[in-house]
């Protein structure tokens, strides 16, 4: 009980994170305000663990949750049906562009954090950060392929948080468990969104 009381802030992050993804799988727009709560709480948790790239990421999540809230309500006119935004697919050209951004961004961010800060696991942390930047944008635009990238991110984050959990008192084991659950949810999200895929070509 004492462990949970001491880590109540982390628990709020875990609960809001799970709720956020459950709503996302169901294509419920409330995923975005819940996501705002999750992003703010997680920013505090990862700063305490010296994971500065993760902190930067969660500040970005605040902005992307606001954007996704807007886009799902009013954007994507070509994919709207009865006021609902349909799931779309990303073009091959954009996949290559985002892939290049992911590689270059991860290397540059990792080098910067490794050289100029006391960040731990700088390159792995930077990869999940840049990948999450890309995946969150894809989610806000409601692209099916966002779930592929989330799956990869979840695997790496589990390893990252377990390593940090053993080497710091920041209490990241619940977050490692959260990302383990996210793995299964990423599969469920992909299957659910695929059923509602917009049949129109890109």
Q: Tell me how far apart the alpha carbons of residues 57 and 39 are, in angstroms, rounded to a whole number.
A: 9
Of residues 87 and 129, which shows the higher confidence score? 87
Q: Which of 9-18, 47-56, 80-89, 181-190 has the highest mean pLDDT?
A: 181-190
- The full set of domain ranges for the chain reads 2-195
- Token pair 């779309």 is found at 88
Asked whether residue 117 carries a pLDDT value surpassing 70, the answer given is yes
pLDDT in tens, 91-111: 999 999 999 999 999 999 999
- What phi-psi label fits residue 200: left (phi over 0), alpha (psi between -120 and 50 degrees) or beta? beta
Q: Output 144 or 4, whichever has higher pLDDT.
A: 144
Distance CA 57, CA 170 (A): 18
DSSP for 78-122, written as a single string: GGEETTEEPBB---HHHHHHHHHHHHHHHHHHHHHHHHHS--SSH
- pLDDT value at position 170? 53
pLDDT at 6 over 50: no
Residue 162: predicted pLDDT: 84
Asked whether the beta carbons of 106 and 179 are under 8 A apart, the reply is: no
Instruction: Give the percent of the chain with pLDDT over 90.
Output: 44
Task: Write 191-195 long-range contacts (CB < 8 A, 24+).
Answer: 192/25, 192/26, 192/27, 193/25, 193/27, 193/87, 193/142, 193/144, 193/147, 194/87, 194/144
Q: Which structure tokens are listed for 144?
A: 């099916």
Nearest of 36, 55, 184, 192 to residue 132 by alpha carbon? 55
């Amino acid at each position: 009980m004492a462990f949970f009381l001491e880590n109540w802030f982390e628990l709020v992050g875990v609960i809001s994170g799970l709720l956020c993804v459950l709503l996302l799988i169901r294509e419920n727009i409330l995923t975005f305000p819940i996501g705002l709560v999750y992003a703010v709480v997680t920013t505090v948790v990862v700063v305490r663990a010296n994971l500065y790239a993760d902190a930067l990421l969660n500040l970005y999540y605040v902005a992307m949750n606001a954007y996704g809230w807007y886009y799902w309500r009013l954007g994507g006119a070509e994919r709207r049906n009865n006021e609902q935004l349909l799931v779309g697919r990303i073009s091959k050209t954009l996949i290559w562009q985002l892939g290049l951004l992911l590689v270059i961004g991860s290397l540059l961010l990792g080098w910067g954090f490794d050289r100029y800060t006391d960040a731990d696991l700088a390159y792995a942390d930077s990869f999940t950060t840049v990948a999450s930047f890309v995946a969150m944008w894809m989610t806000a635009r409601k692209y099916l392929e966002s779930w592929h990238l989330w799956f990869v991110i979840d695997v790496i984050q589990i390893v990252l948080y377990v390593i940090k959990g053993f080497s710091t008192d920041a209490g990241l084991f619940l977050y490692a468990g959260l990302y383990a659950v996210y793995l299964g949810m990423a599969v469920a999200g992909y299957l659910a969104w695929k059923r509602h895929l917009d049949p129109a070509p890109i």
